[in-house]
Amino acid sequence: AQSVTQLDSQVPVFEEAPVELRCNYSSSVSVYLFWYVQYPNQGLQLLLKYLSGSTLVKGINGFEAEFNKSQTSFHLRKPSVHISDTAEYFCAVSVILYNQGGKLIFGQGTELSVKP
Amino acid sequence: EAQVTQNPRYLITVTGKKLTVTCSQNMNHEYMSWYRQDPGLGLRQIYYSMNVEVTDKGDVPEGYKVSRKEKRNFPLILESPSPNQTSLYFCASSSPLRASNSPLHFGNGTRLTVT
């Protein structure tokens, strides 16, 4: 069965510091990988996605993620965070189910808290 | 503006009183889905729909019903709500039909409290 594990439930960091949010997945089949961000009192919005090709993926707001197939990881990074990056971040894996289209499996979420 | 609209945003109800949470999208998406979000558990899929009149169970369907009579609407029905259904609910949609690599568009959520 496929699963997604976000290794940190909360990540506090100071403004302008770098940050890495970790995500590991398990799957016996090919997957697509996503990071979503949820700002307070809002729905989730797509931050970036990996479908194929270059393993380094750039997203919105200066975030990037690297797909590592051997380690089955898809960690999210930003070199310098802002207060406005405070949000909850979800890693997700999309598994192809030929009879059902895609199934998106979410991790538990990581709360990023950026302090001045 | 492309969007997924859920109503209501907040709902407090009592055990056993039937309720419906509406979801509508204006992007002509075939795929729609309902999730519930609980602390420490992330988002779990309740039901999804690949197209009109096609619905199927997700990971936590017990206690919920859905219907897809029109492409744009995908209401979530709780026939007899219980306190363990207190949660934050999200509707989402995507296109094309095979949604495996298409990003989901989410509504702003419905916070349901069942007492």
Rounded to an integer, the average pLDDT of A33-59 is 91
pLDDT digits (tens, 9 = 90+) for A97-116: 655 556 788 999 999 999 99
**Taking a C-beta distance cutoff of 8 angstroms, is the pair B35, B46 a contact?**
yes
Strands (E), chain A: 3-6, 10-14, 19-21, 23-26, 31-38, 44-50, 56-58, 64-68, 73-78, 87-97, 101-106, 110-115
* Angstrom distance (rounded) from CA B88 to CA B82: 14
Tell me the three state secondary structure of residue A74.
strand
CB pair distance less than 8 Å for A101 and B31: yes
* pLDDT band, residue B65 (cuts 50/70/90): very high
pLDDT for residue A81: 97
Minimal Cα–Cα distance from B37 to chain A, Å?
Answer: 9
Nearest CA in chain B to A44: B106
CB pair distance less than 8 Å for A96 and B100: yes
In this structure, which long-range contacts are made by residues A67-70, counting pairs with CB atoms below 8 Å and at least 24 apart in sequence?
A67/A33
Top-confidence residue, B95 or B87: B87
**Which chain B residues have a beta carbon less than 8 Å from that of A67?**
none
CB pair distance less than 8 Å for B106 and A45: yes
Instruction: Mark which residues 38-67 of A lie under 8 Å from B by CB.
Output: 41-46, 49, 51
Rounded to an integer, the average pLDDT of A51-56 is 87
* pLDDT band, residue B98 (cuts 50/70/90): low
Rounded to an integer, the average pLDDT of B77-83 is 97
CB pair distance less than 8 Å for B104 and A106: no
Rounded to an integer, the average pLDDT of B25-52 is 92
* Angstrom distance (rounded) from CA A100 to CA B15: 33
pLDDT at B89 over 80: yes
Element (H, E) at B10: strand B10-13
pLDDT digits (tens, 9 = 90+) for A8-26: 999 999 999 999 999 999 8
Name the average pLDDT for chain A: 90
A107 touches chain B (CB under 8 A): yes
**Region of poorest pLDDT, from A13-22, A102-111, B12-21, B49-58:** A102-111
Rounded to an integer, the average pLDDT of B102-113 is 91
Largest CA distance in chain A: 49
**Which chain B residues have a beta carbon less than 8 Å from that of A93?**
none
- DSSP class of B103: P
Q: How many other C-beta atoms can be found within 10 angstroms of the C-beta atom of residue A101?
A: 21
**Taking a C-beta distance cutoff of 8 angstroms, is the pair A5, A90 a contact?**
no
pLDDT digits (tens, 9 = 90+) for A69-88: 889 999 999 999 999 999 99
CB pair distance less than 8 Å for B108 and A43: yes
User: Tokens standing for A35?
Assistant: 């990071």
CA atoms within 13 A on the CB side of B31: 20
Top-confidence residue, A2 or A23: A23
Nearest CA in chain B to A42: B108
CB pair distance less than 8 Å for A44 and B45: no
* pLDDT band, residue A2 (cuts 50/70/90): confident
**Region of poorest pLDDT, from A61-65, A112-116, B62-66, B98-102:** B98-102
**Which chain B residues have a beta carbon less than 8 Å from that of A106?**
35, 42-44
Handedness of CA A36, A34, A112, B33 (dihedral sign): positive
pLDDT at A32 over 90: no
Name the average pLDDT for chain B: 92
Rounded to an integer, the average pLDDT of B27-36 is 92
pLDDT for residue B99: 55
